[in-house]
């Protein structure tokens, strides 16, 4: 760990070089990537692949740039990253572009890292804060959590187009709100502990402030935005919420740090009946469990639960899709959440697997109590 001349741990605030929010950005993609390269290797989600070829491909062609569009194969594993890495080296591309959801974008970031190339990120769903972070979350082929890949730099540019983001199912947009909801509470815990943020430095005051702005913004505009997205329209509330869930959450989490909520999410990836739950949906339950572990004030917990219900996020384990609570399975979740190197160590006080297991049961009971 780096130290400054006074012997204190170095604090950090990190961010993408550029974050752009605007309409019809896909048709102008080459305008924004030209600074970084003229031969793009574009990793796309299947549903956007044809549209990207037509719109972004035409943009590259008109700029006199080369491009090739490749489908992402559904899961970010080391094998998937290696597949793209080899293809990039054969193609001669000099910039990586990711167009799609969080796992596609994390694959693009990891591929850029291994090939030493710049990366442009174009989210098609606002379901996580993955677009802005210097981090890729790697999974095993069965969908369970493998590891974090910490990257030396953030994406070179992130482009968020509200027209595309509101056309995705509302559930994805709301899951992004759920992921962002935890940002402040995790950053707060990490700051109190003086733990490690996502670039393995110390949480900064700026990171904590951005995380708090994220929380305030989604409380103020999240419900308005969700209602607008239900109608597939973009409004100022939608744009503010997109900025919060993608940029403020990403920078706040990376500079402020993660804690119990994401560690518990990582443990929950080992529960087969939850594999269809979105990242942000599981993070919300992780947040409730963190608040129980912290013995957070009643008013704070009730504000969080009320907001979860307002925007239609899953509240209980049953809402998340759990078919049966098996003690052995959830003790494994608690054990994994406390694994060495995960973010449970950023909690202000020591937390054991037994603490987590009991807090999970208590959080679910609390959620059920507030269900109606």
Contacts of 309 (CB under 8 A, 6+ apart): 315, 370
Task: State the Cα–Cα distance between residues 268 and 145, nearest whole angstrom.
Answer: 9
* SS3 at position 254: helix
Q: Among all residues, which ones are annotated catalytic?
A: 179, 262, 265, 279
Reading the block at residue 293, the tokens are 């572990």
Cβ-contact 289, 360 below 8 angstroms: yes
CA distance 271 to 286: 14
Determine the 3-state secondary structure of 324 from DSSP.
Answer: coil
Question: 368 and 316 in contact (C-beta within 8 Å)?
Answer: yes
Q: In whole angstroms, give the CA distance from residue 67 to residue 88.
A: 11
Composition of the chain by helix, strand, coil, percent to 5: 55, 15, 30
Task: List CB contacts of 244: < 8 A, sequence separation 6 or more.
Answer: 180, 213, 214, 217, 218, 221
The sign of the dihedral angle between the CA atoms of 35, 38, 43, 47 is positive
Which residue from 262, 271, 303, 284 is spatially nearest to 364, judged by alpha carbons?
A: 284
Task: Give the whole-angstrom CA distance, residue 153 versus residue 59.
Answer: 27
Contacts of 201 (CB under 8 A, 6+ apart): 1, 2, 9, 10, 11, 12
CA geometry: angle 275, 281, 287, nearest 5 deg = 120
Q: d(Cα 197, Cα 187) in Å, to the nearest integer?
A: 8
d(CA 342, CA 351): 12
């Amino acid at each position: 760990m780096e130290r400054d001349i006074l012997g204190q741990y170095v604090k950090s605030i990190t961010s993408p070089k550029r974050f752009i929010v605007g309409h019809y950005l896909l048709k102008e993609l080459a305008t924004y990537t030209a600074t970084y390269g003229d031969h793009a290797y574009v990793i796309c989600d299947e549903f956007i692949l044809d549209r990207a070829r037509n719109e972004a491909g035409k943009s590259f062609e008109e700029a006199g740039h080369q491009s090739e569009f490749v489908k992402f194969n559904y899961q970010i594993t080391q094998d998937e990253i290696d597949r793209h890495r080899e293809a990039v080296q054969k193609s001669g591309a000099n910039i990586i572009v990711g167009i799609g959801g969080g796992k596609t974008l994390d694959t693009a970031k990891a591929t850029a890292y291994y090939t030493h190339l710049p990366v442009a990120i174009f989210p098609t769903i606002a379901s996580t804060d993955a677009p802005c972070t210097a981090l890729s979350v790697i999974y095993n082929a069965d969908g369970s959590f493998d590891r974090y890949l910490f990257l030396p730099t953030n994406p070179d540019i992130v482009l968020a187009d509200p027209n595309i983001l509101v056309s995705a199912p509302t559930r994805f947009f709301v899951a992004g709100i759920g992921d962002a909801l935890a940002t402040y509470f995790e950053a707060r815990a990490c700051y109190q502990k003086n733990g490690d943020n996502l670039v393995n430095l110390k949480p900064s005051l700026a990171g904590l402030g951005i995380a708090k702005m994220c929380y305030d913004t989604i409380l103020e505009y999240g419900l308005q935005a969700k209602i607008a997205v239900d109608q597939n329209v973009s409004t100022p509330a939608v744009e503010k919420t997109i900025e919060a869930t993608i940029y403020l959450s990403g920078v706040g989490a990376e500079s402020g740090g993660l804690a119990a909520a994401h560690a518990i999410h990582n443990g929950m990836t080992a529960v087969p009946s939850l594999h269809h739950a979105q990242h942000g949906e599981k993070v919300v339950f992780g947040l409730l469990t963190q608040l129980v572990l912290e013995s957070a004030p009643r008013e704070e917990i009730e504000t969080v639960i009320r907001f979860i219900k307002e925007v239609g996020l899953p509240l209980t384990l049953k809402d998340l899709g759990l078919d049966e609570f098996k003690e052995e399975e959830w003790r494994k979740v608690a054990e994994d959440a406390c694994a060495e190197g995960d973010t449970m160590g950023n909690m202000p006080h020591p937390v054991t697997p037994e603490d987590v297991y009991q807090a999970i049961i208590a959080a679910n009971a609390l959620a059920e109590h507030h269900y109606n």
